[in-house]
Chains A and B, each alone.
Chain A
Amino acid sequence: MLNRWILIGLLSVSTYISRIIGVEIMAGREMNPTLRLYFNYVPVGVISALIIKQILVPVDRGLVISFPILIACLSTAIAVKKIKKFLPSVVFGAIIGFLTRYFFT
């Protein structure tokens, strides 16, 4: 049981250090314009990867496409383009994904 508490303590410290290092290293520094431009595109790259990791589900050392998630994502993308409103688009995508899972899987 003591090991569990030691583990929780070590995980909390190592996780916090990983969070603070990036922020503190860059804090208060005048960012090089090229670096700033680079960081401008980091969120797009990371978000795209996060979406792909949700759509592709690892099963038995292979990959399976989650069609409810894929269709929900496509529906949300179309809704954002058409109605240009964040929350209604998310709700629309969730409903389509839920219905896809309910009726087709």
Chain B
Amino acid sequence: MNEEKRTIKTGFMDALPLAIAIGAYGLSYGVLATQANFSLVGIVAMSLLVFSGSLQMVTVGMLTAGGSLVSVLITSVLLNLRNLLYGAALAEGLAPAKKWRWLLSFGVSDESFVLGSSRFKEYGPDPLYFGIVVVTFYIAWIFSSLIGGLIGNQVDPQKWGLDLAFPITFVAILISDLTEKPAIATALTATILAIGLEYFMPGNEFTIIITGVLAPFVGLYLKRRSQKC
């Protein structure tokens, strides 16, 4: 098997558990969007063009609750702030794609960031891998949105344990990354920060970006200190 085929296979296999979770999420989105009086074309169009699970869920939730267009847009800006951080962290790994970066950037999200950054850390820049991951997620998201819109509320993702796929896949990736003390300290700091932020502001949209910005300083400090010793 040549290198490209191996990368495609690895990307697809790595993406599969998360694609199942994305599918479950997409079903829920389709169902909720139907309840928010979106047409089937509108449901699928939003998934095709926006391709952001959390943002789309929040949007239909706010519209159902009577939120205005302006309030949805302001919320979307806040929700999208973390994409800046993800994009900056992924930039080096996507650099060889040159002008294709414009297309690959469309796939920057929580899940693709987790898999992409883990891959780049171990194997260096790999836009093909990232592309395969994004395409797998995109297909899962579009089709599950469509099915969710078609079947209404006849499927409960929780009942089938589909909601478990996200956190356990993240844990499997995280544990594999904790190979040195600075990384472990970063994870512990992030855990404490995230718990604190969620405790004082339950369900807020800033936990990820604040934790993602602050916790790495601990890892950076410890790594620098060990290099000096």
Binding site for B on A (CB under 8 A): 1, 3-12, 14-16, 18-28, 31, 34, 36-56, 58, 61-63, 68-69, 72-73, 75-77, 80-81, 86-87, 89-90, 93-94, 97-98, 101
The answer on a CB contact under 8 Å between B167 and A73 is yes
Q: Can you list 11 A-B contacts with CB-CB less than 8 angstroms, sorted by A residue number? A: A24-B87, A25-B87, A28-B95, A40-B219, A45-B190, A45-B215, A48-B174, A48-B215, A49-B212, A50-B170, A97-B168
Nearest B residue to A52, CB-CB: B194
The answer on a CB contact under 8 Å between A34 and B220 is yes
Minimum-distance CB pairs A-B, first 7: A22-B87, A58-B203, A26-B91, A41-B219, A45-B215, A48-B190, A41-B216
Once A10-B73, A14-B80, A49-B193 are accepted as A-B contacts, the answer to whether A80 and B101 lie under 8 Å apart by CB is: no
> A55 CB to closest chain B CB, in angstroms?
7
* B57 CB–A CB distance under 8 Å: no
- Interface segment out of the listed B1-9, B138-146, B147-155, B175-183: B175-183
- For the complex with contacts A38-B217, A41-B223, A56-B198, 14 further pairs of A-B residues with Cβ separation under 8 Å are A27-B91, A37-B220, A44-B186, A45-B214, A46-B86, A46-B212, A50-B110, A53-B207, A62-B202, A63-B198, A72-B164, A81-B175, A93-B171, A98-B164
Once A20-B102, A41-B182, A58-B202 are accepted as A-B contacts, the answer to whether A46 and B114 lie under 8 Å apart by CB is: yes
Nearest A residue to B199, CB-CB: A63
Contact partners of A5 in chain B: CB under 8 A: 42, 45
Alpha-carbon gap, A93 to B51, bound state (A): 28
Nearest B residue to A81, CB-CB: B175
The answer on a CB contact under 8 Å between B172 and A22 is no
B contact face: mostly helix, strand, loop, or mixed: helix
Contact partners of B190 in chain A: CB under 8 A: 44-46, 48-49, 52
Selected from A4, A28, A93, the residue in CB contact (under 8 A) with B42 is: A4
Residues from 65 to 95 in B contacting A, C-beta threshold 8 Å:
69, 72-73, 76-77, 80-92, 94-95
Contact partners of A27 in chain B: CB under 8 A: 91, 94-95, 101
Alpha-carbon gap, A42 to B82, bound state (A): 11
Alpha-carbon gap, A19 to B193, bound state (A): 25
Alpha-carbon gap, A97 to B169, bound state (A): 13
> A96 CB to closest chain B CB, in angstroms?
9
Alpha-carbon gap, A11 to B77, bound state (A): 9
The answer on a CB contact under 8 Å between A76 and B172 is yes
The answer on a CB contact under 8 Å between A73 and B171 is yes
* B117 CB–A CB distance under 8 Å: yes
The answer on a CB contact under 8 Å between A8 and B50 is yes
The answer on a CB contact under 8 Å between A47 and B73 is no
> B185 CB to closest chain A CB, in angstroms?
9
Once A22-B91, A25-B91, A94-B165 are accepted as A-B contacts, the answer to whether A44 and B219 lie under 8 Å apart by CB is: yes
